[in-house]
Structure 1
Amino acid sequence: MDIRLKHSVYMQKFAAWQEKPQPPGVKPPWSERISDKIGAQHRIAGCSITANYLNKFIMSRILAAITLWLSVILTILVTIACSVPIIVAGIIKLLLPVPPVWRAVSAFCNFMMYCWCEGLAILLHLNPWLKWDVQGLEKLNKKNWYLLICNHHSWADIVVLCVLFRKHIPMNKYFLKQQLAWVPFIGLACWALDMPFMKRYSRSYLIRHPERRGKDVETTRRSCEKFRAHPTTIVNFVEGSRFTEEKRQQTRSPYQNLLPPKAAGIAMALNVLGEQFDKLLNVTLCYPENDRTPFYDMLSGRLTRIVVRVDLMPVNTELHGDYVNDKNFKRRFQLWLNTLWKEKDEQIAKIKSSYKNAGQ
């Protein structure tokens, strides 16, 4: 019998007993039994609810751990399967420095990277709870050259950009940290795809070694020259590093959700390929429901929402200039980028706020 029904029966008996005249101080014979039984029923129900909650919590943890390992294994297998042919093709391109061979090998490498993106897309679609909130893909074209700038929050960003844009724009070419060159399979595959590896130096190091200044700019220039032959999307995470609260405080960032932008890389890309870039893609990424560990949540099947905003911007002549030697242009370019970053910071805050309010 339901607890509430039993309670109602006892209350009816108690009301009937009260209607009869009773000597002072006499308690109903079942009063203690009523409280004991009701209390016992509530305790049993409470323990049952607690046990069910613990079972669900434990099962969710076990499921997340299994999903994590399966995702890692499948991602590694997909990466190896796609990167090995790219590496072999890159070696052929190195041994046969002939333009027709370069073009054929580059096309093959881009196709294999597309296959890698498709594999990642399949893995993401296995998560039934994942929802995409995307705006701004309507006017993109795979035959154009694009410079894509984006905020950098997590390793998940690269996966999201590859999966989202694989059918809309030419294959992405990322500006990568030098350390990634030593990652098995990935490093050599990125080298074969002509992705530029950037070596970051601290300000104190550059003071001690001034000859290192401008090395990243020169690396950017050489890599961009290779992209003239076929439509390309150059991706630059302008902050230079993944966002964390600790880094935000260390860099004294004026933004709440971003690190200060570094302008030299995109300025050089615009200088070298400025006339060939059809548009500038200003992309904003946000994981409003998994803000702390989006990459881990992606692998463990807990990622629930990805928000992407794409702003298609013209590449104006004001963005072309000598960033290294022209100080006036350098100041104007930094002002333009800082303004863009301020708007991006406000946009991320607005996205987080809207989803937070929707969940209340």
Structure 2
Amino acid sequence: MVPLRIAFIFLLVALSTVVHVVPLLAVAVIKAVLPIDRLRKASNPLLTGIAESWIGINSWIVSRFFKTRFEVQHDGVLQRDGHYLVLANHQSWVDIIVLQKVFNRRIPLLRFFLKRQLFWVPLLGLAWWALDFPFMGRHTPKQIARRPELAGRDIETTRRACEKFREIPVSIMNFVEGTRFTPAKHAKQGSPYRHLLKPKSGGVAFVLDAMGQGLHAILDITIAYPAGQPSLMDLVADRVPEVQVLVRQRAIPEDLLGGDYKNDRAFRIRFQHWINGLWQEKDQDLGALLGGTLDAVADD
């Protein structure tokens, strides 16, 4: 029965993908050739609406065919027309499905910074391009040491993306650890956190610098899987009994706006200290969620 279930779920998702990606690409192509900027901007709500419908169908599949229980706690009022920077821990591809299910049509469409190689994923890569998801090089420190200009390319990509995001309601998604958590990566890093990898603050700093006062708030998301870190196949096979999600809405520190993260060492240290403080609290929250001991926070 499990193989049949998996095949059926993948068929539903594939059908939903085709049904939504084809019109999404059609609108994106029309947008690209429109000669007037005002008309191009007018197509953005249509693109967003198609993407939200796509996510909505996928979320319905999760609710209808999976027994997974979603427990969500948050301490603020969410706005569909807001401008958010969304920070989260990262354990699995399931994280993205969780985030989309929890936040679809409650905040603006989540837009992720993606590895450049993901552009070549059939259908999905083109869909992400149509929705203005930024594609990043994600170069290793050794590559950047040999070719310093590579670091500048990702900074420029971030800047261009944020210029577009100023004009539309947006939720800019950043998995601050930069990669999915595994015990091996945790040990290799010598991470000071029990449940998390070390945070990478550069991308967050560049977004705050580029967006400036255009962001309303930070949504600090902690995702926990009490039954263990799942794979995407675990979710499809209905082997994920529970997901815990904690949302802390945070004000953007005024003293961290307008600094030069790349060239100002004192500012960079101050910014990293702030991120490390968030991660320390997140590590404690994650431990409490996994242990079922977190006190409830206010729900709107």
- Fold match by TM threshold 0.5: yes
Aligned match of 1:280:
218
| 1:214 matched to 2:149 | no
Alpha-carbon separation, structure 1, partners of 2:17 and 2:75: 26
Q: How does 1:114-193 map to 2 (within 5 A)?
A: 114-127=52-65, 129-136=67-74, 138-193=76-131
- Alignment match, 2:262: 324
User: Measured at CA, do residues 190 and 128 of structure 1 come closer, stay the same or move farther in structure 2, by a change above 3 Å?
Assistant: closer
Corresponding letter in the other structure for 1:343: E
Q: Assess if the C-alpha contact under 8 Å between 2:71 and 2:243 holds in 1.
A: yes
**Structure 2 residue 165 is matched with structure 1 residue 223:** no
TM-score (norm: length of structure 2): 0.93
AA of the residue aligned to 1:310: V
- Measured against aligned partners, the alpha-carbon deviations of 1:91-130 in whole angstroms (never above 9, x if no partner) come to 2222225222221221111001100111111111123522
Number of matched residues?
Answer: 292
Q: 1:309 aligns with which of 231, 236, 246?
A: 246
How far does residue 283 in structure 1 lie from its aligned partner after superposition? 0.4
AA aligned opposite 1:184: P
Alignment gaps of 5+ in structure 1: 1-62, 356-360
- 2:184 maps to 246
| Contact 1:175/1:236, CA 8 A, preserved across alignment | yes
Structure 2: distance between partners of 1:298 and 1:149: 23
Provide the alpha-carbon RMSD of the alignment: 1.6
Give the TM-score, by structure 1 length. 0.78
Aligned counterparts of 1:128 and 1:212: Cα–Cα separation in 2: 43
- Larger-gyration structure (1/2): 1
* Residue 297 (structure 1) aligned with residue 260 (structure 2): no
How far is 1:211 from its partner? 2.1
What is the rounded CA distance, in whole Å, between the counterparts of 1:128 and 1:172 in structure 2? Answer: 23
Query: Within 1, Cα distance between the matches of 2:208 and 2:103?
Result: 21
Q: Which has the higher helix share?
A: 1
Q: Give the secondary structure class of the aligned counterpart of 2:219.
A: strand
**Structure 1 residue ranges (4+ consecutive) displaced by more than 3 angstroms after TM superposition:** none
8 A contact 2:92–2:229 mirrored in 1: no
- Percent identity over the alignment? 37
Output the amino acid matched with 1:331. Answer: I
**Residues of 2 paired with 1:128 and 1:229: CA distance?**
37
Alignment map for 1:11-30 (pairs within 5 Å)? none
Match of 1:195 in 2: 133
Q: Bigger CA drift: 151-160 or 254-263? A: 254-263
Post-superposition shift, 1:316? 2.0
Deviates more, 1:265-274 or 1:131-140: 131-140
